[in-house]
Structure 1
């Protein structure tokens, strides 16, 4: 009875410490693994002596296995195949060529600098080829880099975990059985990947089929069915071939996501919560089991090994794997820097240390200590500097990376076409069949549905878009839709056309900092749609220069107050953004605007152009060349 109470107390303290670390990390906006490691070491035998993971015995291995299965499944569930297609070449290279480069480079560094035997050196390298979604995904949620970079890093973290873990098992088998045929060892790698992939694909499809057709099952029970199915598939794969279950969980998650089950969002939220709990428990337990003395015994050679892994091996791997990609040098530099190791490295290293010790091999504790030192250094250095580096390289997603527009009227279609012409993604949502038909005729992506439907917002791509703007004819509805989008998806920029400032409304106090008023205050959507349909609106573009900047600002405000001028979009630092009513202009901003022009048929191409013809923006003279006196009902903006 006393032993069971000790284990109960151990697990309770572990969970409390793990969740506390998550809360503190969330408050300070730093990777949670930083505090998980600190709390685990502080509470372990070498610290306060509160936690003794050895009390769990083989139960620790069970907890590790089932938790890692949930973590990898959740990672696969969050992967979008359509987004992966944009970086498929680089991702494929990272999982294959990148793994080989890290294995060779890390092994040589560990041997020559860390003075480990070749076998132990390559075992270490096989353990650190993985980056891990347990660290990368939370990090990207805080840093919010542009979607292409985030997709590449998330895809690498999820897909390389099972590959790296299975590779490590193959290397361990080679060490334990030095007389084994190398070809058999290599075939074991592909056999595990193949078995895991087949079982995962079949199981993921079956889970999707069941969830779509079992309408009598409640949503809560469906979440548990997925969890039971996940662990069942994982165990089945493990029974057929050891370590193949890791690939099974990833593939099952990807297939279930591709099945587009109605409850997908609820399932992902449930699995996300389980993943946070699993990460918290695992990192606390595994770091508590770490001997501090073993870290100091490693010496400076091990530190230099990790530095070479971070500053030499990783950049070389990224340079080769992304050679023919469309990533720019800023994006490649960021990807080269972000490669923190996570729970898979820690858990597999802990299990290997036990196996090596049981088989009478020296170096098990050293391998575990070196892997944990790698986790600590990569997480602290890369995790704590990621936000600053992303801002310095200007690759944060706060700069527009596509738009979701509610309102498929003339103005909404115009904005969508401009984004599309500039290479940005754009999607329209409307409940009017005729308006959606017009958008389809202009080759625009459109959804005939209510924007209150979160599944439609997700299909439209709001999770990856930089901007959401609601611009129906009803201002109250626009504000509600914008607030709903903020609560469900938290896109970087949320705008709405509404008749009043939300700061003045008690109902909107919690949202006024997130939802911005679009374009100008009191914009009459219906009126400007009529202008566009009648050919009485002129599209223009102007740039704010340093010379006479104050005059330009004043002139712009005068034009806006006239009611005949609306700034729509703004180009800043090579990014296209929808203008907010409270926008603070900067030198170098290029403003795309609409001007009411009473002369008929001046802009036929806006309302009557063929869908295939490009939307051209007419270049007008500098704003300061226009006298302020011409700001009456029909401002005079004639061509020079």
Structure 2
């Protein structure tokens, strides 16, 4: 009873510490692995000694194997083949040529600087060829970089993990079996990869078919069927050919995602939660078992080894593997900077340390220490600075420009023309043939289709735009479109025109959808004003003494006579959001409603209603309406 309670307490401590670390990571917006490592070491053998992973015995190996299988499956499930297609050549190069460069460079650095024997040096190198998707994934959620860069990092992280794990096993087997020749080593690697990919592909297809046809099952039970299928695939693959299971799980995830199963979002959420739990438990347990003394015993040579791996080997790998792929130096610099190691390196290194010791080979604790040093240095130096580096390089999505506009009505075409006139890219989407034709006549890029079409949005380049806005005349459609865009693409800035009731307010705040322009906007009315010429287009700059000017500006907005459209702040153009707080030097482009009959305005020679006291809007710069009249004809 005492023994079982001790084990129970160990698991409870592990889970509580792991989830606490995840919560802190979310709160401080930094990779949770930082807190997982700190907490694990703090409560482990060199800390408070609350956690003793050795008490789990062989159960630790089982826990590691099953958790890594789920983690890699979830990584494959999150990969979208249509996105990978844009950078498939670079991902292929990173998984093949990049692995070779890291293997050779890391091995030589570990031998020459950390003074490891050649065989132990290359075993270390095989463990660190991988980049951790469990670190890269959360990092890219916090640092929203250019989509091509993000896709390449995610694809590399998921696909290189099984390759690296199998390579490490082959190298270990070579050390344990000195009689193995080069042909056996290479054939063993290719056999495991090929068999795992084939079995995983079959498993993924069967799971996808089952998910589509098993309508008699609840969604929750379907998710559990997938979990059983993943572990079944992993176990079968391992049973037939040892160490092929990881490749099988990754491939199963990729194929299942490509199958387009119903309620895909529920499965992704379920597997994401399992992965978070698995990563939390594993990192806490492995870090708790780490000897800090063994890391210090490695000396400064080990630090130099990791620095070479980070700042010489990785940049060389990126330079070679992305040659001629069209990426600029900023994107390549970020790729070279971000290569944190994660749970696969940690878990395999921990198991190898045990196996080497059991076989009477020295170096197990040294390898584990150097791998964890690599994890800590890459996570702390690269992971914690990734956001600042991305912003410095100007490749974050919140710095992306241009807009995708759903709605080719007069208001949508006017906004598109204004954005295009500022030198930024813009594309319109609508199902109305006549409105689309008018947009084409105005030299605007337009797609005549539904904005709910996933493939259409990809074709139109949603990933390259900084803003997505839905301003059709149907508020419900606007919300539905933006919610779908958020779920599938997560654009940096999302806007929609919708009623300002409490239900929508709660829903959109949770979904990160902003209300466009003003709280109560009738797109239909403003379209009519534009068609009948009952408007004036203007621009004003907010003076440093902002208070009086903004009071008058807001009174015109609240009266429904003025509609702010675009805002240029610190040289950056953006859509005006409802309730925008004006700042000094803001440049606002707006519409004024002029309700006088068109004939009266022509006879008077004045296009501005006398009801507007424009003198109170300093530095009003009229934009010649004639240059944009074609937009509203």
Q: What range is the shorter-chain TM-score in?
A: 0.7 to 0.9
Contact 1:238 1:244 in 2 (8 A): yes
5+ residue gaps, structure 2:
600-613, 628-633
Identify the residue that residue 615 of structure 1 maps to in structure 2.
none
Q: Is the 8 A contact 1:440 1:446 kept in 2?
A: no
Match of 1:525 in 2: 523
Counterpart of 2:243 in structure 1 is 243
SS, match of residue 193 in structure 1 = helix
Say if 1:191 and 1:506 are closer, same or farther in 2 by CA, change over 3 A: closer
CA offsets, 1:554-607, max 9 Å, x none?
89979x969898665678899874443537589798x9888999999xxxxxxx
Q: CA separation in 1, counterparts of 2:144 and 2:174? A: 41
Q: Distance in 2 between matches of 1:32 and 1:269?
A: 18
Alignment of 1:166-565 (within 5 A): 166-400=166-400, 405=405, 407=407, 409=409, 411-412=411-412, 428=429, 444=446, 448=450, 466-475=466-475, 478=478, 491-498=491-498, 508=505, 514-519=512-517, 522-530=520-528
How far apart, in 1, do the equivalents of 2:426 and 2:99 lie? 32
Q: Deviations over 1:299-318 (max 9, x none)?
A: 00001100111111111111
**Residue among 580, 590, 593 paired with 2:577:** 580
- Alpha-carbon offset, residue 517 of structure 1: 3.6
Using the size of structure 2 for normalisation, the TM-score is 0.82
Q: CA deviation at 1:52?
A: 1.2
How far is 1:185 from its partner?
Answer: 0.6
Change (3 A) 1:483 1:156: closer
1:69 aligns with: 69
Q: Is the 8 A contact 1:470 1:481 kept in 2?
A: yes
The residue aligned with 1:624 is none
The match for 1:50 is 50
Distance 2:212 2:340 in 1: 37
Distance 2:376 2:84 in 1: 29
Question: What are structure 1's unaligned runs of at least 5 residues?
Answer: 601-626
CA contact (8 A) 2:114 2:301 kept: yes
Number of residue-to-residue matches in the alignment: 601
The one-character-per-residue Cα deviations of 1:456-479 (angstroms, maximum 9, x if unpaired) are: 999999899743423232557756
Deviation at 1:330, TM superposition (A): 1.6
Length-normalised TM-score, structure 1: 0.81
Looking at structure 2, the residues matched to 396 and 44 of structure 1 have their Cα atoms a distance apart, in angstroms, of 38
Paired with 2:189 and 2:83, the residues of 1 have a C-alpha distance of 28
Q: Assess, with a 3 A threshold, how the Cα gap between structure 1 residues 531 and 257 changes in structure 2: closer, same or farther.
A: farther
Return the alpha-carbon distance in structure 2 between the equivalents of residues 222 and 408 of structure 1. 41
Distance 1:241 1:487, change over 3 A: closer
Deviation, structure 1 residue 5 = 2.1
Any conservation in 2 of the 1:174–1:180 contact (CA below 8 Å)? Answer: yes
8 Å contact from structure 1 (residues 74, 271) kept in 2 = yes
SS where residue 283 of structure 2 aligns? helix
**What SS is found at the alignment partner of 1:327?**
coil
Quote how far apart the aligned CAs of 1:439 are.
9.7
What whole-Å deviation, never above 9, does each CA across 1:416-461 have from its counterpart, x for those lacking one? 799999996968477x899899999998556658x7x999999999
Check 1:433–1:389 CA distance in 2 against 1; reply closer, same or farther (3 A cut).
same
Query: 1:381 Cα deviation (Å)?
Result: 1.2
- C-alpha deviation, 1:628, in angstroms: 6.8
Once residues 479 and 87 of structure 1 are traced to their aligned partners in structure 2, the CA distance between those partners, rounded to angstroms, is 32
How far did residue 387 of structure 1 move? 1.5
SS at match of 1:87: helix
User: Cα 1:638–1:272, aligned 2, differ >3 Å: closer, same or farther?
Assistant: closer
Note closer, same or farther for the CA distance 1:50–1:22 as it changes in structure 2 (3 Å cut): same
Residue 629 to residue 12, structure 1, CA distance change in 2 (3 Å): closer
Distance in 1, matches of 2:92 and 2:141, equals 23
Task: Return the offset for 1:128.
Answer: 0.3
CA gap 1:97/1:34 in 2 versus in 1, 3 angstroms: same
Contact 2:230 / 2:249 at 8 angstroms: preserved in 1? yes
Cα distance between partner residues in 2 of 1:59 and 1:363 = 24
Q: Would the alpha carbon gap of residues 111 and 379 (structure 1) be closer, same or farther in structure 2, given more than 3 Å must change?
A: same
* C-alpha distance 259-583 of structure 1, shift in aligned 2 (>3 A): farther
Equivalence for 1:82 = 82
Mapped contact 2:349–2:371 kept (Cα < 8 A) = yes
Match of 1:99 in 2: 99
